[in-house]
Structure 1
Amino acid sequence: MTTASPADELALLTRLRRDLHRIPELDFDLPETLRYVCGELEALCDDVTARYGKDACTVFSPCKSSLCMFFDRKSEHATAVRSDMDALPVTEKSGAEYASCHQGHMHACGHDGHMAMVLGLAHHLAESFDELPRSVLLVFQPAEETTGGARFICESGVFERYGVDRIFGFHLWPDLAMGEVASRPGPLLAATSESTFDFHGKATHIAKAADGADSLEAGMRFVLDAYGYMAEQAKAEPCLLKFGLLQSGQARNVISSHTHIEGSLRTYSDTMTVTAKQHLAELAESRAAEAGCTCTVHFSEGYPPVVNDEALFDLARAALPDLHELPEPLLIGEDFAFYQRHLPGVFLLLGTGTGIPLHADTFDFDERILAAGLETYKKLVRIP
């Protein structure tokens, strides 16, 4: 079969991305998205099986709201490539002619682009099936933005059944130049843990403050001390704790009996995660006791850190001479981390060059960047 020209590939990527951008859906509730992706994959699979036999290609769902396509080259091991499919509960204000048709939902994090690249790769693999050095598994997962759909893919056993020994994935990244591909060995993205602290005191008029227990003072002292503690920890290993919400009290002249504080902890290793949570809880309890208060502390499980396998990264770097290596890890989280807990994986970033932040209601990008992502995938699946 004739290989598609760059112009044809860009037209394909643009069509796929814009079609998918119009139908954003959330979490595991992805009926239109799944129908669209499945339709594309099954048409390609029919073509491959017509040329190479019924076992050459299969399309299936390993778990809820997911799709996989397997190109079977009868190799001992296979390479996996992942795309997320879910969108965000954001009302789009981009003004694009291909804007969301679903009120209150938007592909504001680039998952439409992620799907377009992997679907574009599926087209390429169908065209060049007999040139592949190993089998390839394409994975389309739900719920990256919410509960971590990657975890359910791993638990399905699909990687073991198909002999997958490595996985690659992309995320669009506004802070990189248009079309630039970047990553780094080792830690790339942070573990995330939503952190909640409640200080319980005793209300009284401020004129009789000694009779009360000031939860607001305890909470404020804790915030400042927590920031100081994390700043010291960051000297040894990158980490961050920031609070974005503090609610306390009922009136200006009444000692507050309850202070509620919410923030997010970001770390890059299990050791730092465990250590920071332990010490922050101890610090909260200490500041509460000093003020005659009690406290409750909750840390969400969150996503693990995205840590690129160094041996696989070396293979990727050799295949990608233009790969830009980032000097420091970044502070966002991504559920690709669950795959890397299961098998060696490398996650990459693809620059949009726009500077419009992820999750913004005006997020958009030039589809020409997707061609750079597709070319990267073509090289990665050809690593023996």
Structure 2
Amino acid sequence: MNILEIPFLSDLTAIRRDLHAHPELAFGEQRTSEVVVRELSACGLEVHRGLARTGVVGVLRRGTGSRAVGLRADMDALPLDEKNDCPHRSKIEGRMHACGHDGHTAMLLGAARYLAQHDVAFDGTVYFIFQPAEESEGGAAVMIADGLFERFRMDAIFGLHNWPGLAVGEMVVMPGPVMAGTCSFEIAIRGHGCHAAMPHQGVDTLVVASQLVLALQTVVARNLHPCEAAVLSVTQIHGGQAWNIVPDDAVLRGTIRSFTAATQDLVERAVERLCTGIASAFGAQIAVRFDHHYPPTVNSTAESEICRRVAKRLLGAERVRGDELPSMGAEDFAYMLREKPGCYVWLGNGPGTGGCTLHNPHYDFNDEVLPLGVSYWVNLVEEVLPAAPPQQ
């Protein structure tokens, strides 16, 4: 592996652990953004604040080139009680960095510092984008609405995520869909309440709900082409308050994940047909509502090939994987990739043993990954913004 020597690695590790100990939730990353501003300013970068409330953009220019790229890291934590005993465990009850955004922020800060302090050959502008509110709140979309791409005009944008279960020193780079789009649904069932000892006098909403839960499992299995992918999971059932009353109402909620708009539409139409049919069969009324969240994260082909070249040069060809299945998890970097070409990669975080998996109370970012992430970002800048060869 051709990993850079990071002279300030101990500083970077301390920053990462400090961020881990002080997690902040979506749009409340005040302390985190102050750390980001402090570090970028110390490197002499131009710093812009206020996009999506707590977002920060650092600007580094070199040479005379007109091309520009964006490098993005997310900053927010999760509403979760940490169960680790490490010295840098969360100091705030009910909040923890269980997805590694502390590491993502530290790696991008490290790249900014390295590029600012070393004679790295590139020609153009690098925008270091520190985004709030990735976890379910769509901070990327808010940054875009606040003028991210109008104020900071860039040709492409790049992101990365640590990936437990993938060995340290390995990376996944894939063109096309890499993360799913996500949609929640709610199915409201209206029947006719009655005494549980006299069910013939009512329309049992819990029976209807039970039929729907089973029927919904056929949507993907019996409507999609076997080579297409989607997930439909019912995650909530609510109904009833007493053991001897058949309730008037029941509610089902859940999630749909898919990689294309066509698949999402097919799944929704199938759900609506089942609801209509089961309502008719049982004499109930059923209303279904879909709430679309993040779109699929889709990498552009040319930028994925650039990232693959950089990763192979950095880690070795045998450590760069391009044949992994995409994840049914969602990522709001998708909004940025809808606006600009780019690539989102997975960087190995280690085996994920002992609960060190994403969104788990035992998760902790692996500090061994810090120099790999910094090296990837620096090499990517050199590749995407090549300096003109010296004139003879």
Distance 1:188 1:258 in 2: 39
Match of 1:335 in 2: 332
Query: How far did 1:173 drift?
Result: 1.3
Q: How does 1:227-238 map to 2 (within 5 A)?
A: 227-232=217-222, 233=224, 235-238=226-229
How far is the alpha carbon of 1:257 from its aligned partner? 2.3
Partner of 1:44 in structure 2? 43
Superposed, which structure 2 residues align to 1:52-201 within 5 Å?
Answer: 57-61=45-49, 63=51, 64-73=53-62, 74-128=64-118, 131-201=121-191
Counting matched residue pairs gives 370
Q: Secondary structure in 2 aligned to 1:99?
A: coil
Are 1:318 and 2:315 an aligned pair? no
The percentage of counterpart residues that share the same residue type is 34
Deviation at 1:127, TM superposition (A): 1.9
Cα separation, 2, equivalents of 1:251 and 1:20:
47
Mapped to 1, the partners of 2:216 and 2:165 lie a distance apart of 29
Whole-Å separation in 2 of the counterparts to 1:5 and 1:79:
21
Opposite residue 23 of structure 1, the aligned amino acid is H
| Secondary structure at 2:66 match in 1 | coil
Report the Cα offset of residue 66 of structure 1: 0.7
Q: Distance in 2 between matches of 1:18 and 1:149?
A: 23
Asked if 2 retains the 8 angstrom alpha-carbon contact of 1:134 and 1:382, the reply is no
CA drift at 1:89: 1.4
Residue number in structure 1 paired with 2:212: 222
Aligned to 1:378: 378
2:387 corresponds to which residue? none
Task: Measure the CA separation in 1 of the matches of 2:197 and 2:38.
Answer: 71
User: Which runs of 5 or more structure 1 residues have no equivalent in the other structure?
Assistant: 46-56
Question: How far did residue 87 of structure 1 move?
Answer: 0.7
Q: RMSD between aligned alpha carbons?
A: 1.9
Distance 1:290 1:187 in 2: 39
For 2:49, give the aligned amino acid.
S
Deviations 1:54-103 (A, max 9, x none): xxx41112511110011123422211100111111112221111112222
* Residues 1:217 and 1:5: Cα distance change in structure 2 (over 3 Å): closer
C-alpha distance 162-370 of structure 1, shift in aligned 2 (>3 A): same
Aligned-pair distance for 1:377? 1.2
Distance 1:213 1:5 in 2: 68
- 2:388 aligns to what? none
1:312 positional shift: 1.1
- Residues 61 and 125 in structure 2, CA contact (< 8 A), matched pair in contact too: yes
**Stretches of structure 2 lacking an aligned partner (at least 5 in a row):** 385-392
Q: Which residue of 350, 353, 356 corresponds with 2:350?
A: 353
What residue identity is the alignment partner of 2:46?
Answer: T
State how far apart, in whole Å, the 2-side matches of 1:153 and 1:380 are: 23
Matches of 2:146 and 2:9, distance apart in 1 = 34
Q: What is the distance in 2 between the residues matched to 1:250 and 1:20?
A: 44
Tell me: CA distance 1:226–1:234, structure 2 relative to 1, closer, same or farther (3 Å): farther
Superposition deviation, residue 234 in structure 1 = 5.7
Structure 2 residue identity aligned to 1:344: P
Q: Which one-letter code corresponds to 2:341 in the other structure?
A: P
How far apart are the structure 2 equivalents of 1:5 and 1:202? 69
CA deviation map 1:312-362 (0-9, x unaligned):
111221222142114311111110101011101211112211412212111
Answer whether contact 1:202 1:257 (CA < 8 A) is retained.
yes
In the TM superposition, residue 296 of structure 1 has moved relative to its aligned partner by 2.0
- Shift in CA distance, 203/380, structure 1 to aligned 2, threshold 3 Å: same
Aligned-partner Cα distance in 2 for 1:286–1:126: 63
Amino acid at match of 2:160: F
Question: Which SS does the other structure have where 1:8 is aligned?
Answer: coil
- Residue 20 of structure 1 and its aligned partner are, at CA, apart by 1.2
- Pick closer, same or farther for the CA change 1:187–1:217 going to 2, 3 Å: same
Q: Distance in 2 between matches of 1:178 and 1:314?
A: 21
Question: Post-superposition shift, 1:29?
Answer: 1.1
Normalising to structure 2: TM-score of the pair? 0.89
Other-structure match for 1:52: none
Q: Is the 8 A contact 2:4 2:371 kept in 1?
A: no
Counterparts of 2:197 and 2:335 in 1: how far apart (Å)?
54
By how many angstroms is 1:279 displaced? 2.2
The aligned counterpart of 1:29 is: 28
Q: Within 2, Cα distance between the matches of 1:25 and 1:93?
A: 17
Deviations 1:242-294 (A, max 9, x none): 11221233445543422211111101011111221222123212212211111
Give 2:107's aligned amino acid.
M
Shift of 1:156: 2.6
Q: Deviations over 1:96-127 (max 9, x none)?
A: 11112222211111000000100000111102
SS at 1:69 equivalent: strand
Deviation for aligned residue 1:13: 2.6
Find the residue that maps to 1:329 and give its secondary structure. Answer: coil
Q: Taking structure 1 as reference, are residues 5 and 243 closer, same or farther at Cα in structure 2, changes over 3 Å only?
A: closer
In 1, distance between residues paired with 2:372 and 2:289?
A: 42
TM-score, normalised relative to structure 1 = 0.91
Partner of 1:20: 19
The one-character-per-residue Cα deviations of 1:201-244 (angstroms, maximum 9, x if unpaired) are 00123554333112122222222221112123261411000112
